[in-house]
Structure 1
């Protein structure tokens, strides 16, 4: 993977809106980096580059049918699919089917695999923002999380002053926030900056050029068969996460 497009953090600061104290972890205490932040596209490209040469990848398709062939079919399972780009279709006879196609899994639905879920009644506002403070553009590897009345907000460092934002809220508040992207930066700045500080906040840009994505915070729990460094000032959302 391209190292310049990997976010890495070896420090984390966590604090609460109603408490003047904070918690902080760092790599020296844990003995390793605390985490990485990667783009889905980069992960997929890395997997494809390291895939064995005898593996065929069938992409840009939707699974339409899954059929167990039984003894006459050698115990295999036939997976039928249709292209999302053309009118073509096809099928594969396989020994193993893995339903790793997301929360609304087509594979799981076609195989009648039921799940037990718990709806948290929350949505997450997700975006990527850039700080205008040059001191946070390079080599800043602190992740921040603050617990607010609306819900926890996290800032995960990427590269070149970019941060991933995940702000969990009640659905009504999240939809209101999404409909007012011009006010998002101000709310984010107010929410993440208030609290214990050892330095004044860095400078801020007030423009916004992109929208926000919402993610449903449902948890699939079980499947059954049948330094108190001041966080950077957020500024321009760079890429919405849906």
Structure 2
């Protein structure tokens, strides 16, 4: 076990897909595969006849802390041995093969894998050697083919990238992260009351300096300003900054002998 610098990776309860690397060629690729698996919440790795044997320190060096996945990896002499305890087997293959079986995208496969997990069925994902991918005999052990809809003019992926695509889809299939959000750090999105308070402050200053002197156009100009600030999610911190800007412009006008309007209360007055 190589615990120093290793991530505290613990597989969740229940079945999660098993990544099976068939005849992987380089230990470094096994290590980067473990790193990709950890990113996507996959924890079980099986190796079928790795070319350079197992274990190899170079794999741990390339895993960036995903040591526990490598520590728990098992070695098998054949695909049949690696998948003997599995209920469903999905195989990834970038090139057309002379097989007849269902074909899924990575996204559809992830949805299917989640459904199988709910039924407590054990699944395996076969990935072939780096140079040529899975052979026909390997594919014959699978019930579903997974193909990635990539650029048809260039769809070459290294082993870890291929695993990462499916690991990512597996993770997001159950992830609740909103597709769009505003990062506000230590502040919050401003309320409509705060926005109206600022608008009162701003309009008072614009009236005092003469910017809104055209009475016919004044309502439309004020509406345009209001739309500008309400269209996005202005934060409380940004409003405090804008209050300061308007107040400073007011002080600058006073230094030139223009009158000071009666400004509304700002949040800092409370």
TM-score normalised per structure 2 = 0.18
Greater length-normalized contact order (CA 8 Å, ≥ 6 residues apart):
1
Who wins on radius of gyration, i.e. which is larger?
Answer: 2
More strand by share: 1
> Greater helix percent: which structure?
2
